[in-house]
Structure 1
Amino acid sequence: MQVLLDTHALLWWLSDDTALSRPARKIIGETKNLVLVSAASAWEIATKVRLGKLPTAAELIADFAGHLQREGFPVLPISADHAVRAGLLPGPHRDPFDRMLIAQAQAENMPIISKEAAFDSYGVRRLW
């Protein structure tokens, strides 16, 4: 199964945080699954590190590609289709990073591992 990780799920996986649900942990750890990380997650983490909202991720973002490679998580690039979908998403959800992840999950027809219940109203399959 191919799955997309929400940014918080990635951070919790990498830090072995118990906030990551057991079912999510099992899916991510299953070697037969292809776990993808959006380029938007790199953008989100870097932005939050710069703003001082996520200082604990400074080391991660300094070698983001290396961390993903060691975990075996390919990067899902942001395509023009993803960008258009994210921009046209209806509804009140204003977080640009979440909107991009929703658009990517829709476009690629893949579930997303996320605790964000707000994703449910966008027709994506959310695993948690």
Structure 2
Amino acid sequence: MGRIRQVNSPRFLLDTHVFLWAIRDDERLSSNHRTIIAGGEGIAISVVSIWEIAIKRSSGKLVADGDMVQLLNERAIPILAINEHHASRVEHLANHHRDPFDRLLIAQAQVEKLAILTADPMFARYDVALA
């Protein structure tokens, strides 16, 4: 069983689809995101994304091979846990969209002062740094 690793000074938080595109070498992954991820330093993924992937896999909405936590451990990608500050920050976000996973990622990025790697145009409507 995997464990949540302490995130040491990350600068970037991967949106779930960016992580999935990266592990699949999907052509939709931008060259900027490829460069940041390939560098490996300063990136993290949220436990929110692991939760989102698990829910979508169990409902049949997503096909993804292997255990996500094991994959993250093998690639040495730090996992950002959810804390009370992240959870309570969601209450103060504008209601630009209703995706609970995205809203929590945005809250985490705001609290931790991280830039989010995403291709989702809705994120630009929030007060959050994007990369």
TM superposition score normalised by structure 2: 0.87
For the aligned residue pairs, the C-alpha RMSD in angstroms reads 1.2
Report if aligned partners of 2:14, 2:46 keep a CA contact under 8 Å in 1. yes
| Residue aligning to 1:109 | 113
Query: Among the aligned pairs, what percent are the same residue?
Result: 43
> Where does 1:93-108 land on structure 2 (aligned, <5 Å)?
93-108=97-112
Report if aligned partners of 1:7, 1:41 keep a CA contact under 8 Å in 2. yes
Q: Which amino acid aligns with 2:127?
A: G
| Residue aligning to 1:41 | 49
2:59 pairs with 1:51 = yes
Which structure carries more helix by proportion? 1
Residue 29 (structure 1) shift: 0.5
- Cα distance in 1 for partners of 2:70, 2:46 equals 15
Report if aligned partners of 2:96, 2:122 keep a CA contact under 8 Å in 1. no
| Residue aligning to 1:70 | 74
Could you list the runs of 4 or more consecutive aligned residues of structure 1 that deviate by over 6 angstroms after TM superposition? none
- Cα distance in 2 for partners of 1:80, 1:9 equals 25
| Residue aligning to 2:35 | 26
- Cα distance in 2 for partners of 1:14, 1:92 equals 29
Structure 1: segments with no counterpart, 5+ residues: none
| Residue aligning to 2:19 | 10
The DSSP-based 3-state class of the residue aligned with 2:95 is: coil
Aligned partner of 1:86 among 82, 87, 90: 90
Q: Count residues in correspondence.
A: 122
Structure 2: segments with no counterpart, 5+ residues: 1-9
